[in-house]
Amino acid sequence: MSERLLAYTDKLSAKPGDLIQVKVSSPHSGKYRARLVRMICGDDSADGPGFKTEPVKGVAESEHAARFQPVPLGSYAAIKDRKGFALASFSLAAFIWPTRLDKGEAQCILGNWDAANASGYALYLDAQGRIALRVGESAPVTLEAPLLSRHWYRVAASFDAKSGRVTLAAHRQLPYAGNPQRQIARGKAAASTAANRFLIAAWNDGAKVTAHFNGKIDSPAVYAKAQPIEALLLPPGSRGALTPRQAVAAWDFARDIPGTAVIDRGPKRRNGQTVNLPTRAMTGWNWNGTEMNWVHKPEHYGAIHFHDDDLYDCGWETDFTLRLPKTLKSGIYCLHLTQGDLEEWTPLFVTPPKGKATAKLAFLVPTASYLAYANHQMSTSWHFDELSSSRFTTFSQADLYMEEAGSLGLSTYDLHNDGSGVCHSSYLRPILNMRPKTDLWQFNADTHITDWLEAKKLPYDIITDEELERDGVAALKRYACVITGTHPEYYSERMLDGVQDYTNHGGRLMYLGANGFYWRIAWHPKLPGVIEHRRSEDGMRAWWTETGESYMEFTGEYSGLWRRNGRPPNMLAGVGFSAQGFDVASWFDRMPGSNDPRAAFIFKGVGQNERIGDFGSVGGGAAGWELDRADAALGTPPHALILATANEFPASYHWVKEEFNHSHSAVNGDTCPMVKADLVFFETPKGGAVFSASSISWAGSLAHNGYDNNVSRITENVVRRFLEAKPL
């Protein structure tokens, strides 16, 4: 397997004077060196502005002992109490909806089994996908036939220590001809009363946690005696079923859905905690379509979907701490770690001191969008990846590492190993595509903007999505002008409100990208550094939510497109996502709006018939990758000026699917007039304004010809006017 030096920090965004914890893993022992640099441009390609960093005064280079730290993939729930589950006789029951029966390894449903010393007990799926029970060192008792994937089953087991009798059963919710709905097996075992950790969706292997379950578990319960199997198979709450009061523990996953607690409704309150954020607010065994929002009927959302590749927090030990100088200038910084031939660049976004602005201009770094894409493995998640990109799959060394390692935690663009969509993404792990010297996408593409700001000697502060989420408009209102990144795609309600309040109260927004303000996300209200997204209803979706699972567990909000939440991007930016393609980029032609006197300042020094941006390091043009267009029907303000339009795109560009309600073939650049980008300007209340570039590749053209080109000129004309106090 390829090797990497890996690191992450406890914070992604920090302010001068903050203490940063740095967590590092190396495949080798020995020492690695660490230094902090200011990142100007991360594009190391021959076509770009060049890789540029600056040294940082006041932070000494340091050397540290290298060590390996593992990535603990897989979610589960751990119950705090152990002794209560050290039972001679017991019964276990749960509803399950298994999703990876072909894994070829054991997947534990619940129990306190420890594989390291063959003690305790567990109800689990065996390597053949059959329900099994094992007790201590006894041979497992197993049902005859494997279960069916993505079907609800009631599964149960009882064990009587005195007789040694094991009874095991699975009852499928759906009847099929020729496929028995119920299986029962009987066998013998000897008791094992070790007080191991009690886990749901995994088992112990000494101190490690293994045998992660893939799929949903609903209403797991433990009883102290060998209960009749017929009673165990009855759904909770039905006549003759066992009650929580009779239970050692009976967990109700419909409680504390936004949190990490698993709540026991039994008399001893044997609560636990989920680990690595399995997906909650999942439709349960009894969901019947009468309610789509878990907030309104949580009793139908008593399932948690566990995955063997969930990851919230690597939980690595801190290798060293770094105190940021109190005088550190706001900007993008990177920890540069080196060990022999290995190197790692870990970004850190340094804001100004709290409550202060040190420039009139802010660069709003779209860290939520960086997280949405963090460590994506689209080429193995998507069957349509090459058709979408019009390229053969091309692995970078980072892609190679993640493919061979299995994962470093997935992105919201991916499918879990069981084929279900990934809803969570955090920064408490190394993120290989949020680095300089990577593809020109998100983080690295956005350094074309910092590079240009530095080249034009335009002082700027860094504000990230975390400050926007925390402070709302207060994070922006000190600035005359706010510049976005190239692809600020993922917005929570508070973030969107913050930017909208800013432009509604005299702020000037330069949206230097495309497909922004598109998807609705939530930040976790308590856990740091993690977002949630559900790909509901419509849009250019990497995957789609299961029916009834479109409301986010963190907040209860409906996820999916902002357009489907009543706030199309056009309402804020004047434009919204129209098309995408990833093989070549195009240019803009001036439109009549560019000759409106209101736009004269924008086109100062630009010829009437000049093609705008028929050059650049991202696809060879300023109009490319993802494109936005104006549309009054979607909320583009009536006075917005369409300054320029790009509409020369090949068939590799595709119209976004939320814009057509019926399938047909005229949906690409060769055939569809909606495949275009509109450069737009409009004034906002109280002297504010919005300029939208409407193209992800716009920033890739800024540096062309030593920053002397019409994309750079238009951008500079706008930013210098937007920084003036005079109302627009």
Partner 1 sequence: MLSIDPTRTDLCEEFKRQPAGRHSADLHRLLDLMRWGYARGKTIILCTVPHKEWRLAKMGPRRGSKVQVDNSRVFHDHDDAVWACFRARWKEMTGRDCPVE
Q: What is the DSSP string of 141-166?
A: EE-SSPPPTT--EEEEEEEETTTTEE
Residue 383 interacts with partner 1 (CB under 8 A): yes or no: yes
Please, which of residues 408-427 interact with partner 1 by CB under 8 A? 417
Give me the least distance between CB of 381 and partner 1, in Å please.
9
Give me the least distance between CB of 628 and partner 1, in Å please.
22
Q: Which of 471, 583, 596, 631 binds partner 1 (CB under 8 A)?
A: 583
Residue 651 interacts with partner 1 (CB under 8 A): yes or no: yes
Fill in the amino acid letter for 246. Q
Spell 652-688 as b/e; 16+ CB within 10 A means b. bbbbbebbeeeeeeebbbeebebbbbbbbbbbbeeeb
Region near partner 1 per CB under 8 A, out of 40-48, 113-121, 480-488, 547-555: 40-48
Contact call for residues 314 and 9 (beta carbons, < 8 A): no
Residue 344, judged by CB atoms within 10 A of its CB (0-12, 13-18, 19+), counts as buried
**Conformation bin of residue 533: beta by default, left when phi > 0, alpha when psi is -120 to 50:** beta
Distance CA 590, CA 468 (A): 34
Residue 437 interacts with partner 1 (CB under 8 A): yes or no: yes
Region near partner 1 per CB under 8 A, out of 208-216, 525-533, 635-643, 644-652: 644-652
Instruction: Return the number of the residue (291 or 343) whose C-beta is nearest partner 1.
Output: 343
Give me the least distance between CB of 52 and partner 1, in Å please.
16
Q: Which of 407, 444, 450, 578 binds partner 1 (CB under 8 A)?
A: 407
Spell 15-40 as b/e; 16+ CB within 10 A means b. bbebebebbbbbeeeeebebbbbbbb
Instruction: Return the number of the residue (417 or 447) whose C-beta is nearest partner 1.
Output: 417
Instruction: Return the number of the residue (382 or 722) whose C-beta is nearest partner 1.
Output: 382
Spatial neighbors of 325 by CB under 8 A, at least 6 apart, are: 16, 17, 56, 57, 58, 59
Instruction: Return the number of the residue (84 or 215) whose C-beta is nearest partner 1.
Output: 215
Region near partner 1 per CB under 8 A, out of 60-68, 227-235, 375-383, 448-456: 375-383
SS3 344: strand
Give me the least distance between CB of 399 and partner 1, in Å please.
8
Q: Nearest Cα to 495, choosing from 528, 530, 466, 535? A: 466
Residue 299 interacts with partner 1 (CB under 8 A): yes or no: no
Contact call for residues 427 and 528 (beta carbons, < 8 A): no
Binding mask 535-554 for partner 1 (x = CB under 8 A): --------------------
Please, which of residues 82-111 interact with partner 1 by CB under 8 A? none
Query: What phi and psi, each to the nearest 5 degrees, are found at residue 450?
Result: -65, -40
Residue 406 interacts with partner 1 (CB under 8 A): yes or no: yes
Instruction: Return the number of the residue (238 or 392) whose C-beta is nearest partner 1.
Output: 392
Q: Residue written as tokens 């479109």?
A: 550
Residue 708 interacts with partner 1 (CB under 8 A): yes or no: no
Q: Which of 25, 75, 271, 377 binds partner 1 (CB under 8 A)?
A: 377
Instruction: Return the number of the residue (554 or 582) whose C-beta is nearest partner 1.
Output: 582
The pair of structure tokens assigned to 202 is 């995994």
Give me the least distance between CB of 391 and partner 1, in Å please.
8
Q: How many residues belong to the site for partner 1 (CB under 8 A)?
A: 35
Residue 205 interacts with partner 1 (CB under 8 A): yes or no: no
Region near partner 1 per CB under 8 A, out of 166-174, 384-392, 519-527, 685-693: 384-392
Give me the least distance between CB of 585 and partner 1, in Å please.
10
Give me the least distance between CB of 246 and partner 1, in Å please.
43
Please, which residues bridge with residue 361 across strands? Answer: 481
Distance CA 725, CA 271 (A): 58
Q: Which of 21, 45, 193, 565 binds partner 1 (CB under 8 A)?
A: 45
How far out from the chain centre does Cα 153 lie? 30
Q: Nearest Cα to 53, choosing from 456, 450, 486, 462? A: 450
Give me the least distance between CB of 582 and partner 1, in Å please.
9
Instruction: Return the number of the residue (214 or 484) whose C-beta is nearest partner 1.
Output: 214
Instruction: Return the number of the residue (386 or 724) whose C-beta is nearest partner 1.
Output: 386
Give me the least distance between CB of 544 and partner 1, in Å please.
18
Contact call for residues 161 and 188 (beta carbons, < 8 A): no
Q: Which of 21, 173, 379, 565 binds partner 1 (CB under 8 A)?
A: 379
Instruction: Return the number of the residue (139 or 400) whose C-beta is nearest partner 1.
Output: 400
Give me the least distance between CB of 549 and partner 1, in Å please.
24
Instruction: Return the number of the residue (91 or 417) whose C-beta is nearest partner 1.
Output: 417
Region near partner 1 per CB under 8 A, out of 42-50, 114-122, 320-328, 483-491: 42-50
Q: Which of 420, 652, 710, 715 binds partner 1 (CB under 8 A)?
A: 652
Beta 508-511 vs 31-41: how paired, if at all?
A: unpaired
Give me the least distance between CB of 400 and partner 1, in Å please.
6
Query: What phi and psi, each to the nearest 5 degrees, are found at residue 280?
Result: -105, -175
Instruction: Return the number of the residue (207 or 384) whose C-beta is nearest partner 1.
Output: 384
Give me the least distance between CB of 690 and partner 1, in Å please.
32
Q: Nearest Cα to 217, choosing from 76, 105, 357, 316? A: 76
Give me the least distance between CB of 339 and partner 1, in Å please.
19
Please, which of residues 441-480 interact with partner 1 by CB under 8 A? none
Instruction: Return the number of the residue (451 or 466) whose C-beta is nearest partner 1.
Output: 451
Q: Nearest Cα to 713, choosing from 641, 644, 620, 629? A: 644
Q: How many CA atoms lie within 13 A of 43 on its CB side?
A: 25
Spatial neighbors of 46 by CB under 8 A, at least 6 apart, are: none
Distance CA 65, CA 68 (A): 10
Give me the least distance between CB of 185 and partner 1, in Å please.
30
Instruction: Return the number of the residue (352 or 581) whose C-beta is nearest partner 1.
Output: 581
Region near partner 1 per CB under 8 A, out of 90-98, 183-191, 383-391, 604-612: 383-391
Instruction: Return the number of the residue (48 or 568) whose C-beta is nearest partner 1.
Output: 48
Distance CA 728, CA 724 (A): 9
In total, the chain counts a number of residues equal to: 728
Q: How many CA atoms lie within 13 A of 254 on its CB side?
A: 18
CA dihedral sign of residues 410, 416, 421, 422: negative
Residue 717 interacts with partner 1 (CB under 8 A): yes or no: no
Give me the least distance between CB of 353 and partner 1, in Å please.
37
Distance CA 253, CA 285 (A): 12
Residue 165, judged by CB atoms within 10 A of its CB (0-12, 13-18, 19+), counts as middle
Give me the least distance between CB of 382 and partner 1, in Å please.
8
Please, which of residues 385-404 interact with partner 1 by CB under 8 A? 385-387, 390-397, 400, 403-404
Q: Nearest Cα to 501, choosing from 524, 482, 477, 533? A: 477
Instruction: Return the number of the residue (160 or 309) whose C-beta is nearest partner 1.
Output: 309
Contact call for residues 714 and 456 (beta carbons, < 8 A): no
Spatial neighbors of 239 by CB under 8 A, at least 6 apart, are: none
Residue 256 interacts with partner 1 (CB under 8 A): yes or no: no
Contact call for residues 126 and 100 (beta carbons, < 8 A): no
Q: Which residues bind partner 1 (CB under 8 A)?
A: 1, 44-46, 309, 377, 379-380, 382-383, 385-387, 390-397, 400, 403-407, 417, 437, 583-584, 650-652, 670
